[in-house]
Amino acid sequence: MKTIDELLSDGVAGKRVFVRADLNVPLSGTTITDDGRIRAVVPTVKALSEAGARVIVASHLGRPKGAPDPAFSLAPAAARLGELLGADVAFAEDTVGESAESTVSGLADGQVAVLENLRFNAGETAKDEAERGAFADRLAGLADIYVGDGFGAVHRKHASVFDLPKRLPHYAGFLIATEVGVLKKLTEDVARPYVVALGGSKVSDKLAVIDQLLGKADRILIGGGMAFTFLKAQGQEVGASLLQEDQIPAVTEYLERAEKQGVELVLPIDVVVSPGFPDLKAKAPTEHSAVDADKMPEGQLGLDIGPKTGELYASKLADAATVFWNGPMGVFEHPDYAEGTKAVAQALVDSDGFTVVGGGDSAAAVRTLGFDETAFGHISTGGGASLEYLEGKTLPGLAALED
């Protein structure tokens, strides 16, 4: 895989460089609520711009249905990118049409433009290779060189991620090079003890990565809504908590495998429960209490790991040489159910080991809860991509950057 360092050493002045970024940021109307993914691509865009390239930044945002939708416009992301660069950023109001062509042709050396949401064109996500390829051909007509730097999208076989780099000289940007380097530290010659903390709502989303980690991790800590399927598999009642009963056989098998393989699989010993789900916008105080995990009241929802579990998990993380954390421990968006996630995040901050926050909601939680991002070894921009890499899957966007 050739990197942007090689590209810059060859010289890019006057070249049109297409940067496939990940600007898929959360929005409240037109207000960006977490700009982490935009900040992550700034080093690549800035380096290319300062070297005299004409930089064309492209990304998806959300899940529009292959047609323009103002709710998913990249205009706010383009404006924020300009603020972070300290320079004007042009914005094309389409992806490969008249606005894109005129915007790109109007760039001078060192200037930057952002195309509108790639998913406004059905060819970006098409299953049909010919349709996807036709869109990639039109994108290729806008540029001379391709730089892949949207790690959060490399697990998607989409036109701008998989097909486009095959049509242009291609390089990995700084972000992708960093992400791949970090993931290799989690899969090759891992420093031990290796502890993994997994949370999130659905256990079905994490089964494949648990399957892989059972042969690699020393300890696996389970939290979030997915913990209740594990607790149910152990014969405990879980009240009205989120439960995937169809996954109980798989979870039971993993519990048995963990014991046989000497992997410490740790479940909550207490949980925070409530009669109902909180209003995440109002964030008003709710009725809640901590109860032992084996004494959950009927009709109550488990919404966070309890304080005793937070202390337990912190102790299990204390001596780790390598930590991978993916998924919050509870409904961290509400202050009544954020303490478990805070406890795990703080344990990573206090750790002397190499700590990786695996993107998605975990990365959002770190920023929402006010932690200093530099206190972690690495905060990934791609939760799904990180998990699929750890599952041992071939990621289309990375494969397309290989020569």
DSSP 353-383: SEEEE-SHHHHHHHHHTT--GGGSSEE-S-H
- Please say if 202 is a catalytic residue: yes
Mean pLDDT of the chain: 96
Residue 257 is predicted with a pLDDT of 96
Residue 119 near residue 64, CB atoms below 8 Å: yes
Residue 167 is predicted with a pLDDT of 98
- Count the neighbouring beta carbons within 10 Å of the beta carbon of residue 384: 18
Buried-exposed string 82-108: b where 16+ CB fall within 10 A, e elsewhere: beeeeeebbbbbbbbeebbeebbeebe
- Please say if 384 is a catalytic residue: yes
Residue 263 is predicted with a pLDDT of 96
* Three-class DSSP category at 179: helix
Instruction: Report DSSP state, residue 304.
Output: E
Residue closest to 276 by CA, chosen among 286, 267, 268, 285? 286
Residue 374 is predicted with a pLDDT of 93
Catalytic residue among 2, 80, 185, 202: 202
Catalytic residue among 37, 119, 138, 316: 37
The contacts of residue 59 (CB under 8 Å, 6+ apart) are 20, 21, 22, 23, 24, 74, 77, 114, 117, 118, 150, 153
Residue 359 is predicted with a pLDDT of 75
Residue 104 near residue 113, CB atoms below 8 Å: yes
Catalytic residue among 148, 224, 302, 384: 384
- Intervals of the chain under pLDDT 50: none
Element (H, E) at 349: helix 339-350
Residue 215 is predicted with a pLDDT of 84
φ, ψ for residue 173, nearest 5 deg: -75, 175
pTM of the model: 0.90
- The Cα 162–Cα 184 span in angstroms is 21
Q: Cα separations (Å) of 105 from 18, 51, 162?
A: 13, 18, 25
- Please say if 173 is a catalytic residue: no
Amino acid at 325: W
Task: Report percent pLDDT > 90 for the chain.
Answer: 93
Bridge partners (DSSP) listed for residue 16: 54
Residue closest to 357 by CA, chosen among 393, 306, 317? 317
Two structure tokens written together for 216:
């690699």
Catalytic residue among 225, 306, 327, 360: 360
- Please say if 82 is a catalytic residue: no
